[in-house]
Structure 1
Amino acid sequence: MKFTQFLKTKGAIATIFMGVFYAVAMLGIFLPGYSSIPGNVDQLPIAIINEDAGDYGATIADQLKENLPFKEIETELTNKQALNDLEHNDLALVVHIPKNFSDDLQKGEVSSSIDFTINEAGATTVSSTMNSVVTQINSQLSAQFSEQTAKGVIMNFNVPEDQAEQLANKIETAYVGNVITINEVPDGMHHNMLPMFLTMAGYTGAMIGAMQLVSAYRASRGKASKKRLFTYVQLTAILVAVVSSLFALGITYLINKPSGDLFLELFGHQVLNYIVCFNFTAVFVFLVGEAGMVLNLPILLIQTLANGVTVTRDMMYLPYEWMSHISPMYYSVQAYFASLYGSISPAPFIWLMAAIGAAALLLNILIVAFVHKTEPVENTEDTLETEGLKNTTEVTA
């Protein structure tokens, strides 16, 4: 057999195709998706809450609205409403100017501060970007107010030495930015990425499992009814979901050590994640067989960007944002963030993920019922009985 003949075999052709396809799909999806960082940072919504009755608060609020690089800046919310939106990652940053800001600044008895609140239980790009923005804002405001305070000191140039020292200290402490972090994530990238890793472990295993179990379903046609075989496929998927989730959480508790009180919640979440992802990826496999994996791969790659771990929905380009709305991976990741690090309920995300799984299950039922042909089922017991009688007759004869 010549090498050119070997290259024409189905295995070689499939290998060449998948090598080219995976390279094109991965780079064609990842590079455009990640190009939204930092280009789409201006799409992040923030809120500026000014409760100060004095001139300083209004001036700072106007300066921030004019100079910050964000297209959506909420100013009509109360601080309570803004913090609630921040908890749900509907805002990326809350700037709160307190009531007594101008009075404190003018009196100089205490340092005047503005609260900058950031939520860490969300996309890593958002929290890191907001920290950088807040650092720049605080540096500019500190310099601005120190300069204004210094002008007041110059007007009182002829003062005793002890008073001069107090005034110098007043200049240095005229303004202090108060950075508040809610839902802090423990140090280490393994903590930041845990919601994605747990979800990916279930999704990837489910995708491969869908290919293998649907192949077993097709190979078993004629040995049982479509309905019974489909039920066997689903029961096997549930069994794998339970077993694989125990192993996944075992490693998670060994390395990340989350609270033991969360075990049952995380276990149920991971089992549901596997079952939903199984039916989601099985749709194409039930429809077109093993070739469905060619469609599942780019969908998986898109979801690794559209799941909200690195890039928030506000920063995503439209194809990735659209995928996030129908992606089980997105809702699984957000639910894990809420359970592990957040202070909000994961229930809304869990219900949305379950709804996607129910829709995928219904599609699979319809495909099996109306697309797959019904084949006559072998009556194994009757066949064995007939063969037994035949053998008995032959021996008697």
Structure 2
Amino acid sequence: MNFKKFLLNKGVIGALIIVLFYGLLMVGIYFSGYKAVPSKIDQLPVAVVSQDKDSTKLAHQLEDALPFKHIKKNLSLSEAKAQLNDRKIYLIINVPQNFNANLKKIDGKSTAKLKFYINYANPTTAVSAMETVSKSVGAKVQKNVLLQQGKGVLSAATLSQLETETKSLIAANPTQKDAILAKAKATQQAATTKINQTYANVAKSYQYDIVKVNKVPTGMQHSMAPFFMSLSFYIGSMIAAMLIVMAYKSFAPLIGRWRSYVYTEIAIVMIAMFAPLLIVGLSKSMIHFSTNVYWQLWFSHTLELFAALNVNLIFSLILGQLGIMINMPFMLTQVVSGAGLIPRPILPGFFKAMSNISPCFYSIRADYNILYGGNHTETLWLQLFAIGIVTIVIHLIIVAFQKNKNPLIDVA
């Protein structure tokens, strides 16, 4: 009987509910979010830029061969590079000027070079997919070039023609058969040497380059740094907001809820400014970036933490400690919607919409820009600040409708 009472105790039942709640929640969010890889990689936008009028056919073949649904065809190279840097496209295939002319010069000196531009300051899944496509397309083009040029070589120096000519000469001059055969053998050897030399030049006549834009140092700790740092601040803000609300609700009956809220917001600003000094400092010691980058990251994560603490404060103000039941799912959602692992264009609709109000999304993008390169970092900072200000307005509405209660703890 005692065992039955133990099993029906609120603590045991609560433990079961928590295990089920977070287990089902995480599996549901992560599985639904990450199913986009690799099935939706083909939705990433790319561009084909041809600067050679004589290579129009090749450009069309590239467009047909690419496994992407969104291919931009009418951009100049400078426009495409700007969009690549802004992460509006993820790959540029460039057919440069005189590509076709250089391809026809099988002299071992001229080279037709197809170029693939990839922005490496992007989630690993996108970079890896673009590298794979670039290597595959580059190899296919090279194979086709070799085959086409090989046909030309064989048609120009066919051994069957030499054999026919030899037979005709022997028939006309049977007494000189040995001399004719010796000369034919020498001609055959010369033709073989010429073919081998030509094919050697063919192999040198085409190359392709992967141009690394905003190169990221080797190692997953570098490519994942924006995601890890941003998420670590957000998770900390979730628990911190719950503790700050305890202080707010304890002091509100004693000094008034408005003064208590002002103190709360001051505390948030102080924490947001101080905590990144140490956390970004630890990151600097592990992935080795410059002091200038350190201060930019400090400012970026100060804004992130300011926004994140205020976002988490909303439901903590309303529900107290139970606010974590809403803040936790929102945090888990941001693991996906922050777009640190999966590019935003291929996120499922729900997560793409959530990224608009996700502090992690703007922070991760800003970190990529600061650490490895990119544009509009100041805009991302303004968006983080705007999230914080909007949440403060929501706080003011909540505080206005709250009533003073007895202190939760003795603050004397």
SS of 1:358's equivalent in the other structure is helix
Q: SS at 1:99's partner residue?
A: coil
Report the Cα offset of residue 115 of structure 1.
0.8
How far has the Cα of 1:186 moved from its partner? 0.6
Counterpart CA distance in 2 for 1:129 and 1:41 is 7
- Tell me the alpha carbon deviations over residues 59-112 of structure 1, each in whole angstroms, 9 at most, x when there is no partner: 221112222121110001111001100001110101111121011111234121
**C-alpha separation in 1, matches of 2:99 and 2:310:** 56
**Structure 1 residues 234, 9: closer, same or farther in 2, change over 3 A?**
farther
Select the residue among 63, 66, 72 that pairs with 1:65: 63
C-alpha displacement at 1:240, in angstroms? Answer: 2.2
What is the alpha-carbon distance in structure 1 between the residues aligned to residue 393 and residue 10 of structure 2?
A: 34
The alpha carbon displacement at 1:274 in A equals 0.9
Equivalent residue number for residue 102 of structure 1: 100
Structure 1 residue identity aligned to 2:262? T
In structure 1, the residue matched to 2:203 is: 172
CA 1:70–1:249: 2 relative to 1, 3 Å: same
Cα deviation for residue 166 of structure 1 reads: 3.1
Partner of 2:27: 27
Measure the CA separation in 2 of the matches of 1:170 and 1:156. 16
Unaligned runs of 5+ in 2: 158-186
Q: Is the 8 A contact 2:47 2:75 kept in 1?
A: yes
Q: Distance in 1 between matches of 2:203 and 2:11?
A: 73
Match runs of 1:174-323 below 5 Å: 174-323=205-354
> Is the Cα–Cα contact under 8 Å of residues 86 and 374 in structure 2 kept in the other structure?
no
Residue number in structure 1 paired with 2:141: 141
- The AA in structure 2 aligned to 1:52 is D
After superposition, the C-alpha distances for 1:168-217 in whole angstroms (9 at most, x for unaligned) are: 21221232111111101111111111111111121111110101111222
Residue 403 of structure 2: aligned partner: 373
Contact 2:248-2:260 within 8 A present in 1 as well: yes
After superposition, the C-alpha distances for 1:319-358 in whole angstroms (9 at most, x for unaligned) are 1111111111100000000000014241111111111111
Give the superposition deviation at 1:162. Answer: 5.8
CA distance in 1, matches of 2:278, 2:287: 14
Shift of 1:29: 0.5
Question: Under a length normalisation based on structure 2, what TM-score does the superposition of the two structures give?
Answer: 0.87
**Conserved in 1, the CA contact under 8 Å of 2:250 and 2:406?**
no
| CA separation of 1:6 and 1:246: change in aligned 2, threshold 3 A | farther
Q: How many angstroms does 1:42 deviate by?
A: 1.3
Cα distance in 2 for partners of 1:7, 1:259 equals 56
2:82 to 79, 84, 87: 84
Partner deviation per Cα, 1:38-69 (whole Å, 9 max, x = no partner): 00011100000111111xx2122111222212
Q: Which moved more, 1:139-148 or 1:171-180?
A: 171-180
Distance in 2, Cα, partners of 1:46 & 1:152: 34
Structure 1 residue 11, shift from structure 2 partner:
3.5
SS at match of 1:113: strand
* Distance in 2 separating the partners of 1:341 and 1:297: 31
Paired residue secondary structure (1:359):
helix
Count residues with an aligned counterpart.
376
* Percent of residue pairs identical: 29
Q: 1:329 to 1:180 in 2, by over 3 A?
A: same
Q: Which amino acid aligns with 2:233?
A: G
What does the per-residue CA deviation read over 1:7-63, in whole Å, with 9 as the maximum and x for residues that have no partner? 444443332221110000000000111111000011100000111111xx2122111
Greater CA drift, 328-337 or 243-252:
243-252
Change (3 A) 1:6 1:241: farther
Alpha-carbon distance in structure 1 between the residues aligned to 2:150 and 2:327:
64
Query: Normalising by the residue count of structure 1, what TM-score does the alignment of the two structures yield?
Result: 0.90
SS of 1:89's partner is coil
Verify the 8 A CA contact 1:339 1:345 in the aligned structure 2: no
Secondary structure of the equivalent of 1:221?
A: helix
1:331 aligns with 2:362: yes
Shift of 1:307: 1.1
Structure 1: 5+ residue stretches without partners = 378-383, 385-397
Q: Residues of 2 paired with 1:220 and 1:247: CA distance?
A: 29
Distance change (3 Å), C-alpha of 1:122 and 1:173? same
Q: Following TM superposition, by how much is the alpha carbon of 1:2 offset from its aligned partner in structure 2, in angstroms?
A: 2.9
Residue 299 to residue 70, structure 1, CA distance change in 2 (3 Å)? same
Distance 1:28 1:203 in 2: 20
Q: Which amino acid aligns with 1:232?
A: Y
Q: Report the Cα offset of residue 238 of structure 1.
A: 2.2
